[in-house]
Amino acid sequence: MIGERRPVGWLSPRPLPHPLEGLVSTAATTSPTDIPSDIQRVFQLQRAHQWQAKTSTAEQRKEKLRRLRAAVEAHGEELVAAVRRDTRKPEQEVRITELLNVLANIDRNISNVEEWMKPVEVKTSLNPDDRARIVHEARGVCLILGPWNFPFGLVMGPVAAAIAAGNCCMVKLTDLCPATAHVAGKIIRAAFDEQEVALFEGGVEVATALLELPFNHIFFTGSTRVGRIVMAAAARNLASVTLELGGKSPVIVDADADVGKVAADLAAAKQFNGGQACISPDHVFVTAAQKPRLVEAFRDRVRQNLYDADGSLKRENIAQIVNAPNFARIKRLLDDAVAKGATIAVGGQLEEADRTIHPTLVTDVTPDMLIMQEEIFGPVVPLMTYDRLDEVIEFISARDKPLALYIYSNTPGNVERILQRTSSGGVTVNGFFSHYLENNLPFGGVNQSGLGSYHGVFGFRAFSHERAVYMHQVKPAGAH
């Protein structure tokens, strides 16, 4: 039996800030009275230019991507410094996620766009003499809305895909990372004319004005709560959407799994960006026999990764929580769990002065605790024990479909049983994040964890319409 209590359901929602806060930068480049007119002006420019962008050749699209790459490289050091100023992420982590990965993604689009653009010939079933093909055509004018956890990388990936597919874009970054947004604006302006790609800075008024426009496609990365708002706005204009959201991504540890590897992976995953990643493991299911070993191994690995010999935390090796409200939210989840009988087995130190949370493992967790009902999005992981694997499967399948599922098992039959009876955006078996890192796989959620997917060719397709073309063979006049 999982846990000791039955779920009591969701508690009444607490007061929330404006739902669009965090979507855009507060460093506005225009006055509030100018924002709607400036957005409308650029939108009309892009609507007029979209037909030229649509007919651009592969070489022309490559040249745009090369300009973007050159601008990112030229501002690389400034970008790294800006992200670190906004987030206190480890420098190497920033270089990989916000700079090197962006450059690699642009290069991938440059290398493959010509192949991706080729029409797909289809064998006709109506008349063998006729011809048919599928043409990947640009969607048109796209809106790209970025998150705060990877404020540059998770915007520039979609931008590169949209350019490769022949679109025009209007972009905005989060207001929680103003320094990053400022540098991103420099990069976009250096690489593109505003009729091609334009970045807007501003507050909630900018988000509202943008979402009122009849875009052809909206690409949003962020929370499920705001994703619903974006989807409702898109529905008013029947715009297509790609929603990269999140959810509570579980880890299933089978009875024959390597507990040492699970602990090492879990410690690294929760250290990465301070656990503030949409695919971060959220909670763990383990047998009662494995629990002591997992707790001890996790404690040892965290100590090795993050602490000096005197027991002090190496703050430069873990990101701080993004802001005070999110710090308070995670603290509330922990306080509720402890009040209901949970045990802080590892960590538990929360330093409000600089919003640092030490990697924390919580045991004796039950389903009625808030920590098992809300996405944690921090370096905290609750651990629940189980007797039968079917209990875990039933628990997961009865809840919202997560963005990621992690399975540790050496029994192929058990892995297949879990895959058959659960649903998630993606799965990694005996590891973590790999389904995200593999660019030949689509990355995306399902239902509550997202709609649509991207990465590699799947990003090109997300920003493309598959147009069906059927051509009858017409005989020349006078032919028999």
Adjacent-strand bridge partners of 243: 220, 451
244 in catalytic set: yes
From CA 84, how far away is CA 87, in angstroms rounded?
5
Query: Could you tell me which residues come within 8 angstroms of residue 256 by beta carbon, excluding any fewer than 6 positions away?
Result: 409, 410, 411
Helices (H) and strands (E) in the chain, counts: 16, 20
Catalytic residue among 93, 201, 244, 375: 244
Of 377, 376, 417, 375, the C-alpha closest to 397 is 417
From CA 282, how far away is CA 373, in angstroms rounded?
11
From CA 41, how far away is CA 44, in angstroms rounded?
5
Q: Residue 343, class by beta-carbon neighbours within 10 Å (0-12 exposed, 13-18 middle, 19+ buried)?
A: middle
Catalytic residue among 194, 278, 296, 416: 278
77 in catalytic set: no
Query: Could you tell me which residues come within 8 angstroms of residue 182 by beta carbon, excluding any fewer than 6 positions away?
Result: 25, 27, 82, 201
SS3 content of the chain, % helix, strand, coil (to 5): 45, 20, 40
φ and ψ at 209, to 5 degrees? -65, -40
Query: Could you tell me which residues come within 8 angstroms of residue 312 by beta carbon, excluding any fewer than 6 positions away?
Result: none
Contact 274, 321 (CB under 8 A): yes
End-to-end Cα distance, the chain: 78
Encoding tokens for residue 71?
A: 């601008």
Encoding tokens for residue 214?
A: 């009849």
Q: Name residue, tokens 């924002």.
A: 35
Catalytic positions, written as ranges = 244, 278
